[in-house]
Structure 1
Amino acid sequence: MSLLEVRDLRVAFPARGFRAAPVEVLHGVSLDVAAGETLGLVGESGSGKTTIGRAVLGLVRASGGSIRFAGEDITTVSGAARRKLSKDIQVVFQDPYTSLNPAMTIGDILAEPLIVQGATGRDARAQVRTLLDQVGLPSDAIERLPREFSGGQRQRVAIARALAPRPRLIVCDEPVSALDLSTQARVLDLFVEIQRATGVAYLFVSHDLTVVRHISHRVAVLYRGDMVETGPAAKVTSEPDDPYTRKLLLAAPVADPRRQQERRLARRALMDAERTA
């Protein structure tokens, strides 16, 4: 049995204008995430990938289909049930600065979810030091404010906060897109190390096939609210079947200028062929 099962998920948002019909942004998407697995969700802006993550977190309401976690239907749970569920499902957002309270020390930020779950202040403080060590931050970070850290270090704090209640699933919403390339690589390696150590599963949202290739076991590609391709990460990110996935692959930057130019020309030829088809 999968840890997370999404079946025929539909999400619609209100449209502008008097009596305008709602706009459906997900058109019956299905996916699974096993315990300890990373599923990469890839697509351009507006494809619906972030909406899937937010539906799993209960931040947007499904208009159809179902979401099951550990065998339980969580599609419409709210209030106390959703708060209880947050122990098992956590999130790491895109911006590591705005997702952290600038007025709180790192120690207080990390202790807060532990205290909410019933830990004493003393026990929470001890666990905070373990969390800081787990994400590779010095112990003196406990007394410092978020503004005193770099973007990569702040994202490590956000990861530590997500790990605090020992979740079974973390929704990662573009967690490295705001970081420079070298910092991205270090943070992605950290995600991999944490998964090996804890067995946590990731639903990893990104627009970059290169990023999801690094971290994912399987990849699902979305285009305008529909799933167009899914399969093992090595296959989808190197030899995709769908034309849209091939365009995403060709759009991913590479360090070699010659290869980058070849990719740019190949992508342009693919788009020209679609226009004349």
Structure 2
Amino acid sequence: MKDDALLTVEDLRVSFPGKGFRAPRTEVLKGVSLEVRPGETLGLVGGSGSGKTTIGRAVLGLAPVRSGTITFAGERIERATARQRRRLARDLQVVFQDPYTSLNPSRAVGDTLAEPLLAQGTGRRDARRRVGDLLDRVHLPADAAARLPREFSGGQRQRVAIARALAIGPKLIVCDEPVSALDLTTQRTVLDLLLEIQERTDVAYLFVSHDLAVVRSMSHRVAVLHRGEIVETGDAARVTGDPRHPYTRSLLLAAPVADVAEQRVRRERFERERAAP
């Protein structure tokens, strides 16, 4: 791991109690190591149950760490106290998959966006001005501050969630499947917004997704997870264009493409690789 990394995860292991009386614990992460540098996007990709979301949750303090270390901005945080987490919130934020359930349905958007600012000691007048700037940054009209989450489309609600994550100028945002609940056109709009924000602010992303095409378009580097282990990592163009591990190749071949003929060829290659001894 490099000394200039913003986030460093070393030999991370996470396990959960098994179902049923005296059932053994289920190990979800099996010694994962990775790093995120300032201003870059590390894409975490894998199928359902691979452990990719658990990594993000462990970084956020939402999953129990059995062993290993998580270091953020030079500080060990794998067992951070509630007080430490409140302080960390200034630099470490999250955008969840479902933009509606991540917002309080009974609170106006302006109040939701102002809350983290007020918690950090910003005055109410400055907070209102900052809310207007945030809405403009995510391309929502100023009158959006007075509206409730149900008055927005799914893509607009995700923009509100992004604005909230940006409110206090974080160094890293964990993006947990941030576009998987959106239609394809809206996905592209939100992804372009995230890229635009990164270019403006130099924020880093830990970008979690099951979609290799989305990860390829967003990431500088990619880590591929399979059954709780990283099986391949490297430059995004290389991992997604010329994968070395069979599991990464299967993800690539199974990914949908717009061209029907190319998709058929990919499917045939995928079936041949699965059938090979």
**Aligned-partner Cα distance in 1 for 2:99–2:129:** 24
Is 1:121 aligned to residue 147 of structure 2? no
Which deviates more, 57-66 or 262-271? 262-271
Contact 1:66 1:73 in 2 (8 A): yes
Is 1:108 aligned to residue 111 of structure 2? yes
Which residues of structure 2 form unaligned runs of 5+?
Answer: none
Distance apart, 1:218 and its partner CA: 0.1
Is 1:143 aligned to residue 149 of structure 2? no
**Aligned-partner Cα distance in 1 for 2:155–2:253:** 27
Aligned match of 1:218: 221
Distance apart, 1:270 and its partner CA: 1.2
Distance apart, 1:137 and its partner CA: 0.6
Which residues of structure 1 form unaligned runs of 5+?
Answer: none
Is 1:98 aligned to residue 101 of structure 2? yes
**1:99-118 Cα deviation digits (max 9, x unpaired):** 11111111011011111111
SS in 1 for 2:266: helix
Aligned match of 2:65: 62
SS in 1 for 2:56: helix
SS in 1 for 2:272: helix
**Aligned-partner Cα distance in 1 for 2:114–2:221:** 33
Aligned match of 1:254: 257
Distance apart, 1:78 and its partner CA: 1.7
SS in 2 for 1:96: coil
**Aligned-partner Cα distance in 1 for 2:47–2:92:** 25
Aligned match of 1:170: 173
**Aligned-partner Cα distance in 2 for 1:72–1:59:** 17
**Aligned-partner Cα distance in 2 for 1:213–1:261:** 21
Identity of aligned residues (%): 67
* Residue type of the alignment partner of 1:58: G
SS in 1 for 2:32: strand
**TM-score, normalised on structure 2?**
0.97
Aligned match of 2:80: 77
Aligned mate of 1:48, from 51, 57, 63? 51
**TM-score, normalised on structure 1?**
0.97
- Say what the alpha-carbon RMSD is for the aligned residues: 0.8
Distance apart, 1:268 and its partner CA: 1.3
Aligned match of 2:272: 269
**1:74-121 Cα deviation digits (max 9, x unpaired):** 110121111111111000000111111111111011011111111122
* Residue type of the alignment partner of 2:74: G
SS in 2 for 1:237: helix
Distance apart, 1:19 and its partner CA: 2.1
Distance apart, 1:165 and its partner CA: 1.2
Aligned mate of 1:227, from 223, 226, 230? 230
Distance apart, 1:221 and its partner CA: 0.1
Aligned match of 2:38: 35
Distance apart, 1:261 and its partner CA: 1.4
- Report how many residues are paired: 274
Contact 1:58 1:78 in 2 (8 A): no
**1:188-244 Cα deviation digits (max 9, x unpaired):** 111111001001100000001100111100000000001000000000111100010
**Aligned-partner Cα distance in 2 for 1:269–1:180:** 31
Which deviates more, 222-231 or 74-83? 74-83
* Residue type of the alignment partner of 1:79: A
SS in 1 for 2:71: strand
**Aligned-partner Cα distance in 2 for 1:207–1:30:** 19
* Residue type of the alignment partner of 2:35: D
